[in-house]
Amino acid sequence: MQTYTIDDVRKIHDLPITTLIFKAQEVHHRCQDPAGVQACALKSIKTGSCPEDCKYCPQSAHYNTFVEKEKLMETDAIVEEARMAKDSGATRFCMGAAWSNVPQGAQFNSVLETVSSVRSLGMEVCCTLGMLDETQASRLFEAGCSVYNHNLDTSREFYSEIISTRCYEDRLETLSNVRKAGMEVCCGGILGMGEKEEDRLSLLAELANLDPHPESVPINALVAVEGTPLKDEEPVDGIAFVRVVATARILMPRAMVRLSAGRTLMSEELQTLCFLAGANSIFLGDKLLTTENPAKDQDFALLEKLGLRSIHPDEARSAQGRSTNKSHALV
């Protein structure tokens, strides 16, 4: 597997935009279904009071935001949300909880029960619950969780400017535990937090040097929330965002590159450029954890306008030349 330096990434990232998108499309057609877009749903199952101090996050207990604290949802309520998401066209259901570390005991057991119940609907299950150890990762996988999300957020160099309550190595250790358990890795970052272009290149190099590459790479545009330290940050430049998407596609050919938070700030034309640059996954629903997201009808109308279609996770893996873990195959 090739190891990338920041200079390697820069040579790709700084290509003329027409050449960059052309090269991204070459890779996309070779390693993905060029018309397929994975539709995911994301639900906050435990909201607020997070002890971490991530400066972008309205769920942090360190900041006074609009977010109201909510305890862990009951399994039946979450399963009903998953059922509605499936009826809306989602094939992956992601559950997020505002924890620093995955708790032991009754709460984790409840999550495991929920994972199994959602999985029984025939949906792919993803969780993002904070840091977890090897045993917890194995139990999640055995319960039916196929994918675990744990973002690096930004570069090593800029990380301490955004978060002080955990270190970069903590995140990498969780990703290692996820891999050992047999789950797929969903890992990306956030643009527009005041980082420099060099930080974006460093983040891309970090992701591309994970062995194997993450199966999913969410690329978020910061949603500046009142009450957080980043409330006054200007939206990330659209073309700069597209360059990161295209570079991610070239560096990680078989990953699903996901347009995540911040799409409400993007025009249809900018989202289309992102699809041209190699993005092939979106979140459905009018909310991502606690921030706004385009309505699903808008999303499907745009996909139809562009001649794109929703793709089943196993169909996507087949196009990528990857196999599905037999114990987690969707039927």
Q: CB of 168 within 8 A of CB of 159?
A: yes
Catalytic residue among 243, 258, 263, 317: 258
Going 228 to 232 to 238 to 241, the CA torsion angle's sign is negative
Give residue 321's identity as a one-letter amino acid code. Answer: G
Per the residue annotation, which of 31, 40, 92, 94 is the catalytic one? 94
- Which contiguous run of DSSP H or E holds residue 157? helix 156-159
Taking residue 120's Cβ as centre, other Cβ atoms within 10 Å add up to: 12
- Catalytic, 94? Answer yes
Nearest to 118 by CA among 138, 84, 93: 93
The DSSP output letter for 215 is: S
- What does the alpha-carbon distance between residue 204 and residue 215 come to, in Å, rounded to a whole number? 14
Residue 57 annotated to the active site: yes
In DSSP notation, 165-214 reads SS-HHHHHHHHHHHHHHTPEEE--EEE-SS--HHHHHHHHHHHHTSSSPP
- 236 neighbors 199 (Cβ within 8 angstroms): no
* Amino acid present at 73: M
Q: Which residue has the tokens 């990338």?
A: 4
Could you confirm whether 30 is annotated as catalytic?
no
Side chain identity at residue 54, one-letter code: C
SS3 for 154? Answer: coil
Residue ranges with strand state E in 47-151:
92-97, 124-128, 145-149
- For the question of residue 263 being annotated catalytic, the response is no
CA angle 23, 211, 41 (to 5 degrees): 75
Lookup: tokens for 153: 């957020």
Please list the active-site residues: 50, 54, 57, 94, 126, 186, 258
